[in-house]
Amino acid sequence: MIELLVVIAIIAILAAMLLPALGKAKERAKRIQCTSQLRQCALGALMYASDSNDWFPIWIHPATRQINVMSGTWYSRYVWAGTGNTPVPMAYTSGEFNNLGHLFPSKYVGDGRVLWCPSYKFDALLGIGQYSTPRFMSSGADGIVRSGYMFNPWMVNAAQGGNAGNLRLMQKTADLRERKLLIMDYLGSGTTPDQLAHYREQGWNLAFNDGSVAFAKSPQAMKLAAQLADYDNVSLTNILTMLERAAR
């Protein structure tokens, strides 16, 4: 009996030692998968541009109909807009595609699962479960599909603001004058730990306009992200700058 208790105690001690390591290994595996997905999306965006007169996938504001004016950080996540709880068509037949959503009917992202980071739980706010009724790749109740990634977030001059300042910096491949961040894990106003795909590792996965990918850790960027307010594109630009530097 004593021997059995000793064995159980040893097993419990070993489990306590191994579980954290297994958790970290699992999270790292998901981060690597996320990296692969971002690379696929970045290459897909570059191929899309090659087939679309050098234009990267665009964002059209539903009310103003302005193209690529990124006044709100969340707009870079929008994938499709149409009727609520409706499967997204694999062709330009109904609704409106935006940002990375253009890669879906163009067949650059398969069934679309690569648009959501695997590190999020299924039912998380930014998880894939939000768009799985009646089946995967369906709009939410509000008729919108939002990716777990931000696409092409750089603006011409965030400090200037307005339509001219908030215009996307990289609209066409002709605008690619240096290596810049093109796609990244989501960050937005009032960002909380559960909204950061890799919070445990205190960083973000990034994909660049040359198709390369990197993981960037910046304590200062993490602090700013937690304080980011709606429409604060200046702070967003500062965060993007920090992450680009950290990824070098």
pLDDT of 118-132, one tens digit each?
999 999 889 999 999
Measured CA distances, 136 to 85, 104, 130, 229 (Å)? 10, 13, 9, 31
Judge whether residue 22 has pLDDT over 70.
no
The whole-number pLDDT of residue 108 equals 94
Domain-embedded: residue 1: no
Arithmetic mean of pLDDT over the chain: 89
User: Is 5 contained in some domain?
Assistant: no
Helical (H) or strand (E) element with 183: strand 181-185
Question: Can you state the angle between helices 233-246 and 219-227, rounded to 10 degrees?
Answer: 160
Task: Classify residue 60 as exposed, middle or buried by CB count within 10 Å of its CB (0-12, 13-18, 19+).
Answer: middle
Q: Which residue has the higher pLDDT, 76 or 200?
A: 76
Taking the C-alpha atoms of residue 11 and residue 6, their distance in angstroms, rounded to an integer, is: 9
Look at residue 14 and tell me if it is in a domain: no
Which residues touch 128 (CB under 8 Å, ≥6 apart)? 113, 116, 120, 122, 136, 148
Residue 4 lies in a domain: no
pLDDT by residue (tens digit) across 139-180? Answer: 999 999 999 999 999 999 999 999 999 999 999 999 999 999
Average pLDDT of 25-53? 92
Burial class (CB in 10 A: 0-12, 13-18, 19+), 111: exposed
pLDDT band at 1 (very low <50, low <70, confident <90, very high): low
Answer yes or no: is 7 within a domain.
no
Q: Cα separation of 235 and 175, whole Å?
A: 23
Is 105 within a domain?
A: yes
Q: Buried b / exposed e across 7-29, counting CB within 10 Å, b at 16+?
A: eeeeeeeeeeeeeeeeeeeebee
pTM: 0.89
**In the numeric block, which tokens belong to residue 202?**
């205190």
pLDDT band at residue 193, thresholds of 50, 70 and 90? confident
pLDDT at 188: 84
51 contacts 108 by C-beta, under 8 angstroms: no
For residue 164, the SS3 value is helix
User: Does residue 128 fall inside a structural domain?
Assistant: yes
Cα 137 to Cα 104, 123, 202, distances in angstroms: 10, 14, 29
Count of domains observed in the chain: 1
Closest alpha carbon to 115 in 186, 55, 213? 186
142: domain range?
Answer: 29-246
Whether 104 is covered by a domain: the verdict is: yes
pLDDT digits (tens, 9 = 90+) for 100-118: 999 999 999 989 999 999 9
- Determine the average pLDDT of the residues in 177-204: 89
